[in-house]
C-alpha cells in the first residue's frame, strides 16, 4: 500500500518527538548527576575512621561501622545553604523577607545542621492550638524529634508546647534529621513536607520547601560522619580473685570520688554545669539502686565515657581513670579493658590521644563536643 505524503510527515514528526524526549531525559539525568557530585565532593571533608579494643559503639547494631578506606565527609559549614530550594508555595517574597528580618532560631530546637527547618509566614496571627492540632494527622508517623517555634513582630522565637495559647504570624517547624538511631527516612521526610504544606494552605501562609533528595542526602552524609566519631571508651574494675564487691562499700568509695547515684541506678560524675562526664554502672544486669545497694554483691563495675557528649574528653578520661584507680585500690580489684585484659600505660595513652583526635574531628566539622548540637545528634 502506497504511503501518502501526510503519513510520511506524521512518521517524521513522531520520530522527532521521540528524539526530543530522549534528549531531554539525558540532559536531566546529567543535571542530577552533577548535583549529586557537587554535594558529595564539594561540601564535605574526611571523617575519622576508628578501631580500638577499648572502643564501643554507642549505637545499635544496625548503624554502619566506619571503614578505613571510606572518607565520610564533614558537615556543610559557613554560609552555604544545605537545603537548596526546590519548590516554592505562594508569596515567596514575603517568606524570604520575613526570614531575613527575623532573629536567629535557637540551636536547641532548630539547628541549620541538625534539622530540616521550614518557615511559614501567615497574613495574620493564628492561634497556636489551632495550628498544633493540624499536625496530629501526620506527626505521629515521624521517628525523629519535631519542634514548633513561633514569633510575632519584634519578638524572639519561642518553642511551643501543647499548652501554648498565643497567636503568632511567623512560624518555623524543625524536624531533626539524624540521631543515634540513624538518619530520617524518605517516608518520614515526605510526610513532614506534605503535612507542612497542608498546614500552610489552611493558614494561607507562604512556605518554601527544600529539595527532598538533597535533604535526604545531607541527612545520610551527616549520619555517616556521626557514625565515624560515635565512640564510647569503657573500662572495668573487677574483683582480683574472682570474688565480689559489697554494695555498701562501693557506695562509700564512689561518693568519696565525687560521684552521685542517680535514679536510673548509675553513678555519674558531672561537671560544674551539670553535664555528664562519665558513668559507673554495675557490670551485671542489676542496677545500683539506692534501696537495694546495701544487699548487692557484684563481680565488677563498668566505667564509660561517651566521647561526643563530653566537652573536654581528655580531662574527663583523666578523671574517669583516677576514679577507676580509686575503686581498684579501695575494693581490692583490678583495672581491665573491654576484653578483660589488664590496662597498660600504652593503652591509656592511646585512649587519651584518640579521644583528643575524635573531638578535634568533630570541631573541624562544626560540631563542638558536649554542645547542644552534639547532645542532639548523639542522643
- Cα torsion angle, 38, 39, 45, 49, sign: negative
How many C-beta atoms lie closer than 10 Å to residue 222's C-beta?
25
Three cell numbers at 159? Answer: 518553642
For 325, other C-beta atoms within 10 Å of its C-beta total: 15
Q: Please give the mean pLDDT across all residues of the chain.
A: 79
Residues 208/94, Cβ–Cβ less than 8 Å: no
Count of residues in the chain: 379
**Among 65-79, 229-243, 263-277, 334-348, the least confident range:** 65-79
Measured CA to CA, the distance from residue 198 to residue 118 in angstroms comes to: 13
Domain ranges of the chain: 83-227, 230-377
Q: Which of 50, 58, 72 is nearest to 364 (CA)?
A: 72
Instruction: Judge if 83-227 and 230-377 fold alike in CATH terms.
Output: yes
pLDDT bin (cut points 50, 70, 90) of residue 62 is very low
- What are 27-56's pLDDT values in tens digits? 444 443 443 343 334 343 333 333 333 344
Tell me the C-alpha distance between 366 and 233, whole Å: 23
Architecture category of domain 230-377 in CATH = 2-Layer Sandwich (3.30)
Contact between 245 and 284 (Cβ < 8 Å)? no
Confidence of residue 203 (pLDDT cuts 50, 70, 90): confident
C-alpha cell read off for 296:
548487692
Q: Which CATH class is domain 83-227?
A: alpha beta
Q: Are 148 and 132 in contact (CB under 8 A)?
A: yes
Q: What pTM, to 2 d.p., does this model score?
A: 0.73
The three grid cell numbers given for residue 301, joined into one nine-digit string: 563495675
Signed CA dihedral, 269, 271, 272, 273: sign only:
negative
Identify the pLDDT of residue 111: 96
- Which spans in the chain are helix H? 5-42, 92-101, 128-134, 186-203, 212-229, 247-256, 313-331, 345-364, 372-377
Which residue carries 515521624 as its cell? 142
CB atoms within 10 A of CB 110: 24
| Residue 97: pLDDT over 60 | no
The percentage of residues in the chain with a pLDDT greater than 70, rounded to a whole number, is: 73
- DSSP code of residue 102: S
Residue 72 DSSP class: P
Amino acid at each position: 500500500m502506497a504511503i501518502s505524503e501526510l503519513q510520511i510527515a506524521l512518521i517524521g514528526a513522531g520520530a522527532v518527538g521521540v528524539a526530543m524526549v530522549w534528549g531531554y531525559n539525558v540532559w536531566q539525568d546529567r543535571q542530577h548527576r552533577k548535583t549529586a557530585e557537587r554535594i558529595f565532593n564539594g561540601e564535605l571533608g574526611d571523617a575519622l575512621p576508628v578501631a580500638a579494643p577499648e572502643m564501643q559503639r554507642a549505637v545499635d547494631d544496625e548503624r554502619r561501622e566506619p571503614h578505613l578506606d571510606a572518607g565520610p565527609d564533614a558537615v556543610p559549614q559557613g554560609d552555604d545553604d544545605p537545603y537548596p530550594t526546590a519548590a516554592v508555595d505562594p508569596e515567596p517574597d514575603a517568606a524570604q523577607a520575613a526570614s531575613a528580618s527575623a532573629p536567629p532560631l535557637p540551636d536547641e530546637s532548630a539547628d541549620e545542621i541538625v534539622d530540616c527547618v521550614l518557615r511559614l509566614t501567615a497574613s495574620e496571627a493564628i492561634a497556636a492550638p489551632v495550628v498544633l492540632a493540624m499536625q496530629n494527622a501526620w506527626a505521629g508517623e515521624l521517628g525523629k524529634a519535631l519542634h514548633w517555634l513561633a514569633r510575632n513582630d519584634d519578638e524572639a522565637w519561642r518553642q511551643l508546647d501543647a499548652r501554648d495559647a498565643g497567636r503568632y504570624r511567623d512560624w518555623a517547624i524543625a524536624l531533626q534529621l539524624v540521631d543515634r538511631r540513624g538518619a530520617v527516612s524518605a517516608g518520614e521526610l515526605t510526610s513532614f513536607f506534605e503535612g507542612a504544606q497542608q498546614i500552610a494552605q489552611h493558614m494561607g501562609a507562604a512556605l518554601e520547601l527544600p529539595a527532598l533528595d538533597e535533604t535526604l542526602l545531607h541527612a545520610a552524609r551527616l549520619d555517616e560522619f556521626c557514625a565515624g566519631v560515635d565512640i564510647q571508651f569503657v573500662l572495668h574494675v573487677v574483683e582480683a580473685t574472682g570474688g565480689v564487691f559489697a554494695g555498701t562499700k562501693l557506695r562509700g568509695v564512689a561518693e568519696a570520688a565525687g560521684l552521685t547515684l542517680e535514679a536510673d541506678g548509675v553513678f555519674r560524675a558531672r561537671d560544674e554545669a551539670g553535664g555528664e562526664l562519665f558513668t559507673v554502672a554495675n557490670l551485671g544486669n542489676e542496677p545500683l539502686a539506692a534501696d537495694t545497694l546495701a544487699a548487692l554483691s557484684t563481680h565488677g563495675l563498668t566505667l564509660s565515657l561517651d566521647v561526643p557528649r563530653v566537652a573536654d574528653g581528655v580531662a574527663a578520661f583523666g578523671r574517669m581513670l583516677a576514679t577507676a584507680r580509686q575503686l581498684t585500690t579501695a575494693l581490692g580489684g583490678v583495672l581491665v579493658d573491654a576484653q578483660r585484659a589488664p590496662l597498660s600505660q600504652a593503652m591509656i595513652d592511646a585512649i587519651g590521644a584518640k579521644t583528643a583526635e575524635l573531638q578535634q574531628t568533630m570541631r573541624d566539622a562544626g560540631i563542638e563536643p558536649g554542645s547542644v548540637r552534639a547532645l542532639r545528634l548523639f542522643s
